[in-house]
Amino acid sequence: MSSTRTRPVALAYWLIVASVVGWFAAFELTIEKFNAYENPGQGAACDFSVLVQCTENLNSPQGSAFGFPNPIIGLTGWMAPLVVAVAILAGAKFAKWFWAIFAAGMTFAFAFVCWLMYQSMFNIHTLCPWCMVTWVVTIPSFYAVALHAVRIGAIPLGERASKIADRLSSWIPLITIVSYAIIALVAQLRLNVLMEFL
């Protein structure tokens, strides 16, 4: 059976894990935002220090990038990969155009997370714990979905690109770890994170 016809079961299992974790992080941030509305001036439960906290991020303009709290995007957005994953495990086979749209959605999520990482480290100067949980699951989810879409030809980059994506799929864990390491390095250089724990 060719790789283009094989159901991406491993991807489905990962998306379920990522969706549950990402949704829970968004839920916790939403609760913190509601608490902030009810108790102005009171810090969030995830405020551990001046550097590691949720309050500054939630109250910043970047925390409501589209005019409403960002966690609401997570509450709704993480439902899409969860539904797709469960459908795959139930035997659904999606058309290439569907995978192209799904990959576009994951690309938006990845770009938005990258923008939020930049804002957090370079402008707000804090690291939000629940935001970082979101980063952790969004990054590999984007890689996995994008490579799958290229591999099956949903993103028409040619046969060579499809073969490269197929090979790279097994390297997603390493690519993810390298991505995390780069983020950690930038956070250290920008915020001197290690001093927080020494």
pLDDT band at residue 36 using 50, 70 and 90 as cut-offs: confident
Total domains, the chain: 1
Question: Is residue 3 assigned to a domain?
Answer: no
Output the pLDDT for position 2. Answer: 38
Quote the distance between the C-alpha of residue 134 and its chain's center: 5
pLDDT tens-digit series, residues 164-179: 999 999 999 999 999 9
- How do residues 107-153 score in pLDDT, each as one tens digit? 999 999 999 999 999 999 999 999 999 999 999 999 999 999 999 99
Going by C-alpha positions, the residue among 29, 55, 58, 60 that lies closest to residue 44 is 55
Q: Residue 117 belongs to a domain with what CATH number? A: 1.20.1440
50-68 pLDDT, tens digit each: 899 999 999 999 999 999 9
pLDDT for 116 equals 97
C-alpha to C-alpha distance for 122 and 148, rounded to whole angstroms: 33
Q: How confident is the model at residue 198 (pLDDT cuts 50, 70, 90)?
A: low
Domain that holds residue 176: 9-197
Q: Note whether 114 and 182 are within 8 A (CB).
A: no
Tell me the whole-structure pTM to 2 decimals: 0.91
142 assigned to some structural domain: yes
Question: To the nearest whole percent, how much of the chain has pLDDT over 70?
Answer: 95
Here the tokens at position 67 are 């005019």
Closest residue by Cα to residue 135 from 110, 168, 101, 163: 110
Provide φ and ψ at 177, rounded to 5°. -60, -40
* Per-residue pLDDT at 197 exceeds 70: no
